[in-house]
Amino acid sequence: MARNYPANTQIQKFLEESYNKERDTRLQWFYKLKDSNGQLATSKQSEVARRKIQNAPKPAEDIFKKLPEDYAPPKFNKVKSDFNAFPDLSKAEGKLQQLVAEMRPASAGTKEKLYDGFTKEGKGRYQYLCSRNKKGPEEKFAFPLLSSWEYGWRLGDVIKKEEIKKPPYGRTRIVADTFYTRTGIPANPSVSV
């Protein structure tokens, strides 16, 4: 059921009166609690808490002397860094070359596509990335960089691409063909001999 709020002038007047009544009640409490200086009087609870804190026994100053003698605060050998000194880039260049060497370089024909036109026209960088995307990771990298790449890495060595045909009804036999031969299990147990 949808509300048509405020529905009429009678409900609006009722709401206005209830808001005014609540406001007047709050103001009365404020003037009642205000002292002669114009500030709010503190509550008795905060006064009791303040007295408890003042009357609490002081901690003994000898408490730190009671620690065992073999205790010593841990000391750390902190070396202050000089942020104005420049880092040694000769070490970083070797690591950078190692990272670059992980991916095989693009062929000369593919590199030429980079400088041929603009991406907006569908040429240049766009063509370069499309041609690089056509190659699989095994062609672009010498070894798997991620652990997830290890699943299926060099799968073409186990199964030839010609052997993989589109089966009817959308089912494939890649698992059956690769798993049972690789583990030495003679045949698929679900298939009767």
- Whether the CB-CB separation of 126 and 119 falls below 8 Å is answered with yes
Extents of the domains making up the chain: 107-153, 161-193
- Whether the CB-CB separation of 127 and 116 falls below 8 Å is answered with yes
How many other CB atoms sit within 10 Å of the CB of residue 128? Answer: 19
DSSP secondary structure, 22-52, as one string: HHHHHHHHHHHHB-TTSSBPPPHHHHHHHHH
Question: 34: which strand partners?
Answer: 40
Distances in Å between the alpha carbon of 72 and those of 59, 65, 68, 75? 22, 12, 9, 9
Q: Per-residue pLDDT tens for 9-65?
A: 888 888 899 999 999 999 888 888 777 676 666 667 778 888 888 888 776 666 666
Q: Per-residue pLDDT tens for 116-171?
A: 888 888 899 999 999 999 988 888 888 888 888 888 888 878 888 787 777 677 66
DSSP 64: G
pTM of the model: 0.35
